[in-house]
Structure 1
Amino acid sequence: MAKRKPISVTPSAVSTPHHPSAGLLRRLGALLYDGLVVASLLIIAGFIGMGIAELLLATELASVPEGEDALWLLTRHRFSLIYTAWLAVVGFGFYGWFWTRAGQTLGMRAWRLRIQNKDGSPIRVTQALIRLATAAFGLGNLMCLFNRAAPRAFQDIWAECEVVVLDKQENLEMLNK
């Protein structure tokens, strides 16, 4: 579990409005939207990786076996670990950046969802990493089916955070920040 820093109670933290927990269908909708954005980012990151591989071959800093091309460098050479790490950083970076800044990814904004701590503050980087590590590519959201009154996904429990549904006005205010 993520270690929490002590939180000083201020009048603004006490008056945080209560929001309903996000259900499975909203979470899956946001996951689908975000999946499209992440796929686009991974395509761009793949083009960058392919460009670097072609540059290494053109400058003869790397070579490939007879009959192979630059893709061999990215899939079967020792550079493939660097390329895989690059793609992971792009994917994790997308979620980590949005979750720790505003508490909403692009898909979460469309579905009026926000990830936050119990006191309404944005989650920390360590919480974002725990969420990503325990989400099981979205399968952790299925745990919402077992507690319909206050749904929480597996990754929410482990990262000690919550995903809430905002009303339309609050969502507009979040967009304008």
Structure 2
Amino acid sequence: MSNALCPLWRRLVALVYDLLIVLAIVMVVGLLCQLATGGRLIETGAHTAIPFWYQLLQGMVVAAYFVASWRRGGQTVGMRPWRIRVSRDDGGTISLQQAVIRVAVAAAPLLLLALAPAIGLRATLWTVLGAWALWFAVALFDPRRRTLHDLAADTEVRQMGGQ
């Protein structure tokens, strides 16, 4: 079913595809929340206030996309055209626990967004990107090309047959 270990560049290109899906999901959830709050979801003025429940909801919906995709066939929409699949080391579908660990560790750098008031938005965004670069750079040194979230969840990404 799956053969070769997946090179990092292929995973990153698939992630770009998935970012488009995530953007669409976030936009739909945002629209529904704006409609539900009568357009008063985000308070603007001297300081912009985004409700914590809304941030949590967005995070849960995006996480659900990844967890459901990995549990149902091992592929997100972005992984399909690149014929790559996340799996256990024996090639089987990852467990719910593995999927949740994987998405939590992959999303952990987002916690650094809390630094924005102290160091500014630009520095915070560079810090988050730097953390993600480290998460993925691990794959350059791991013999099975696993990222930090793969190591934490005991998963791997492989190219599917025919590659």
TM-score band by shorter chain is 0.7 to 0.9
Alignment partner of 1:107: what SS? coil
Name the amino acid aligned to 1:29.
Answer: V
Whether contact under 8 Å (1:21, 1:164) holds in the other structure is yes
Q: TM-score under structure 1 normalisation?
A: 0.69
Whether contact under 8 Å (2:18, 2:76) holds in the other structure is yes
2:17 pairs with 1:45: no
> What is the deviation of 1:76?
3.0
The equivalent of 1:150 in structure 2 is: 144
Alignment partner of 1:20: what SS? strand
Give me the whole-angstrom Cα distance separating, in 2, the residues matched to 1:163 and 1:109.
12
> What is the deviation of 1:44?
0.5
Higher radius of gyration, 1 or 2: 1
The runs of 4+ residues in structure 1 deviating greater than 3 Å are 136-139
2:76 pairs with 1:76: no
Matches within 5 A, 1:59-74: 69-72=40-43
Matches within 5 A, 1:17-166: 19-54=3-38, 69-72=40-43, 76=49, 80-135=51-106, 136=109, 138-139=132-133, 140-147=135-142, 149-166=143-160
Whether contact under 8 Å (1:20, 1:150) holds in the other structure is no
Whether contact under 8 Å (1:99, 1:115) holds in the other structure is yes
> What is the deviation of 1:50?
0.5
Whether contact under 8 Å (2:2, 2:160) holds in the other structure is no
Unaligned 5+ residue runs, structure 2? 111-131
Name the amino acid aligned to 1:109.
Answer: R
Name the amino acid aligned to 1:21.
Answer: L
Unaligned 5+ residue runs, structure 1? 1-16, 56-68, 170-177
Q: TM-score under structure 2 normalisation?
A: 0.75
> What is the deviation of 1:115?
0.5
